[in-house]
Every structure is written in structure tokens, then in C-alpha cells.
Amino acid sequence: MLVTRIAPTPSGHLHVGNAVNALLTAWLARDHGGRLLLRIDDFDTGRARAAYLADVFATLAWLGITPDDGPADPSDFHARWSMARRTGEFRTAAERLRLAHPDDVFTCRCSRRSLVDGACGAGCRERALPLVPGTTVLRLHVPPGVVVPVRAAVPEAPTTLPVPAGDHVLWRRDDLPAYQLGSVLADEALGVTAIVRGVDLLASSALQLHLAALLPAPRFQQVDLRHHALLTGPNGDKLSKSAGAQAHPMLRTPELRARVEGWAQSLGAPVGIPPPP
């Protein structure tokens, strides 16, 4: 059975691009008679806000999306579903990964700004530094030229993806799991078999597939990945939190709902996601 998920982060209000992706994900589950899960990613506990969490549930209700599993409301989320409750589990997985792959996973003192082309240039890989909150991070080294196989959802989809080279953070300086590690582990635990994403996350998908092979996370390695085109703003830039698209809640009107459905239909067709009849 196909299992997919909607995975918002409660660090900003959802924008119309998020709404389009949520509809596409729900339509994929319905088209395959599958299960739709809600996974709210509060890995970054410092940026999570109650108003943003409430916005997730309000937006899904406005879209008419009822997940088959996951938190029913903010109280249920905090009681049973918060990723913050699983920090110890994620830490254990990160430590096992470091022990299993000492040549690829290493502790690093360097800040993001001090990296050279995304890689540590200070020799931290050879130093066997301790992982100390506030001082060091855990990184995954990816050399140039690494390619991962991808399960092609549609004939036009790529069957391989290049993994971005560099030293990627797995465990953060503030003693929290980085998104890439937490996301793969969460999807593996949920039994997710299909993910709908924007094409801006192709590099992220490649890195996650590479990470899944190392963990290992065998179910994630076989996931059906569908990358749809992006919904852009008036200036042609993608709608994103960093661009301020999530500074204010959407005006959840029937008119906007109709436009979101239209956008989802146009973006879903090329990746084999038809609207419901």
C-alpha cells in the first residue's frame, strides 16, 4: 500500500505553495487507495511557535484534507507526535552512524561561514573531536561524483541523482538533529513509500537517499519520489519562508481555495498526480 505524508514545519505560516503541495500529496494517496499521514517537523524547537502549529491544522481543514494518521490537533501533537520527544532516538541513530562510518561521519568545529565550497578545510575529519553541545557539530562527508539511484515515478523522471558534495550537518551545534537526518529517520519509522516535493528539493532528496543507504533506512531507499514544478511569486522567485511568504497567515477564502486547486492540477499532471474525480 502506498503511504505518503504531509510534513510542514511549525516555524512560519503555511503559504499557497505549501497548500498546493499538501493537495498534491493528498491526491496521490487517494489515487492509489493509500494512506495519508501528517508529520509535523519541529526538529528546530527554537523556531517552533504555537501560532504556526495552529495554522497547520487550520490550513488542512480549509483544504478539506483529513489525514489517516498523525496528530489531530495541537494538544495531541505535543502529547504524542512532537519530534522533540524523539531527540534521544535521533541522537542514538547519529552515534551509530558515526561508529559505522568513521571515514564519512565526523565531528567538526567549523561554522557554516568558515566552510570552503561547503566543506571543512580545517582538518576536523582527522582530529576525532568530541561532540560537545555549543562547540561542535556532526557532519557527513560526501566526495564529488557520488550518484544515487532513484525510483522513477513517471517515465520522464530521472533514475539517478547527483549527491551534493561537501560536509553536511547531521547533528547541530545546539544539540538537535539536523533536518536531513531527522526527516529520513522519521519517514523510515512511519513506513513512508511515496513523497511529493518541489524540484527545489532535488539535491535534498539525493542527500537523503545517500544517507538512507548509510544508516541504513532500506524503506526510504525505495521511496517513490515525485518532484513537481514550483509555484512562484509575482517576481518569479519561489514562495518560501526565507522570502517572507510565511510572515502572515493566508487569507483562506473560497476564491483562493479554487486557485490553489487549479495550480495543483497544473503542477500535478506532469508527475502523474491526477485530481480527484
Q: Which of 129-143, 203-217, 227-241 has the lowest mean pLDDT?
A: 227-241
The predicted pLDDT at position 243 comes to 47
Q: Is pLDDT of 198 > 90? A: yes
* Cβ atoms of residues 231 and 250 within 8 Å: no
- As given in the structure block, the three cell numbers for residue 179 are 533536518
Kindly state the helix (H) or strand (E) to which residue 36 belongs, with its residue range. Answer: strand 35-38
Distance, C-alpha 240 to centroid of its chain: 14
Q: Which residues contact 209 (CB under 8 A, 6 or more apart)?
A: 148, 149, 150, 161, 163, 220, 221
| For range 23-45, the mean pLDDT | 97
d(CA 188, CA 37): 13
| Domains in the chain, CATH or no CATH each | 3-271 (3.40.50.620)
Q: Is pLDDT of 261 > 50? A: yes
Model confidence band, residue 240 (pLDDT cutoffs 50, 70, 90):
low
The closest of 83, 77, 127, 82 to 107, measured between CA atoms, is: 127
d(CA 43, CA 140): 18
The predicted pLDDT at position 134 comes to 96
pLDDT digits (tens, 9 = 90+) for 12-27: 999 999 999 999 999 9
Kindly state the helix (H) or strand (E) to which residue 238 belongs, with its residue range. Answer: none
Three-class secondary structure of residue 160 per DSSP: strand
pLDDT digits (tens, 9 = 90+) for 104-127: 999 999 999 999 999 999 999 999
Q: What percent of the chain has pLDDT over 90?
A: 88
Three-class secondary structure of residue 168 per DSSP: strand
The closest of 230, 231, 213 to 222, measured between CA atoms, is: 213
Q: What is the mean pLDDT of the chain?
A: 94
pLDDT digits (tens, 9 = 90+) for 211-226: 999 999 999 999 999 9
Distance, C-alpha 147 to centroid of its chain: 20
Q: Is pLDDT of 67 > 50? A: yes
pLDDT digits (tens, 9 = 90+) for 143-196: 999 999 999 888 888 999 999 999 999 999 999 999 999 999 999 999 999 999
* Cβ atoms of residues 42 and 84 within 8 Å: yes
The closest of 141, 152, 263 to 207, measured between CA atoms, is: 141
The predicted pLDDT at position 247 comes to 66
Model confidence band, residue 82 (pLDDT cutoffs 50, 70, 90):
very high
* Cβ atoms of residues 109 and 122 within 8 Å: yes
Q: Is pLDDT of 242 > 60? A: no
Phi, psi angles (nearest 5°) of residue 84 = -60, -25
Q: What percent of the chain has pLDDT over 70?
A: 95
Q: Is pLDDT of 51 > 80? A: yes
d(CA 217, CA 87): 18
Task: Give the pTM.
Answer: 0.94
**Cα dihedral 191→193→199→201 (10° resolution):** 20
* 176, amino acid identity: L
d(CA 263, CA 265): 5
